[in-house]
Structure 1
């Protein structure tokens, strides 16, 4: 693509929009909760424990219920995931992350619809994807039936 003055201006506007999102209340809350989660030693330990069991769980899943430790590893993975998700700083981060994702989805849909009602913006959120035949995020280049 040949860079034109118009394309450079569009990129500049996109960067301004991104900065506005970062500086919004939702963006600031996301970065604050991310910082708090990263600074929380107990939260980081829970994440590390879950990451280790997740690797083991993925190995066990290759064999499914026929693996000798299937039940034990599956139960342990679910317990560690629940323990991690219920930790206050992790829960606050996940909530802020979801709110930021919803804002980004809404902005994407509005930009796409401003160009054309026929533009498909896969958000992965059924609320925003309701006007599209694409359920969002398939990444298969249309082989899933998105049109």
Structure 2
């Protein structure tokens, strides 16, 4: 593929969009929340311990109830996750992550709409968004269409 002037303009615009995102209040809030989580040594240790427990959990999942430590690990992972979830810093980080994802989803939809109303854009939740028909044509989504 040859690099044309049009491609160069697209790349320049993408870099400009990236810079605007990095300077946005949403991303700054996310960066601040992330810094608060990872600068807290006690919280960072809990995250490391939880990550190690997740590895054990994944091993247990392969064998299910037949794993000798199934009950112990299942209980421990829930306790550690709950402990992390109850930390104000972690909750703030999750909210900030969701806000950044929402912003990226909105930008993706706007870019997709600029190409065509029929373009489906991947959303942060693993689904696709079709700007012209909320639930997708044939599902009776927001445009009330059905096949």
Name the TM tier (shorter chain). Answer: 0.7 to 0.9
Gaps of 5+ in 1: 134-147
**Structure (1/2) with the larger strand percentage:** 2
Contact 2:33 2:89 in 1 (8 A): yes
**Matched residue of 2:3: which SS?**
coil
1:82 matched residue in structure 2: 82
RMSD: 1.7
Question: Structure 1 residue 62: deviation in Å?
Answer: 0.9
1:71 maps to: 71
Matches within 5 A, 1:65-144: 65-125=65-125, 128=129, 130-132=134-136
* Larger RCO (alpha carbons 8 Å, 6+ apart): 1
Post-superposition offset of 1:114? 1.2
1:35 equivalenced with 2:35 (yes/no): yes
Give the structure-1-normalised TM-score.
0.83
Cα distance in 1, alignment partners of residues 33 and 18 from structure 2: 19
Report the count of equivalent residues. Answer: 133
Per the alignment, residue 60 of structure 1 pairs with: 60
Larger Rg: 2
Runs of 4+ in 1 over 2 A off after TM superposition: 124-133
Structure 2 alignment gaps of length 5 or more: 138-147
Q: Secondary structure at the match of 1:118?
A: coil
The CA distance in 1 between the partners of 2:20 and 2:136, in whole Å, is 28
Shift of 1:24: 1.0
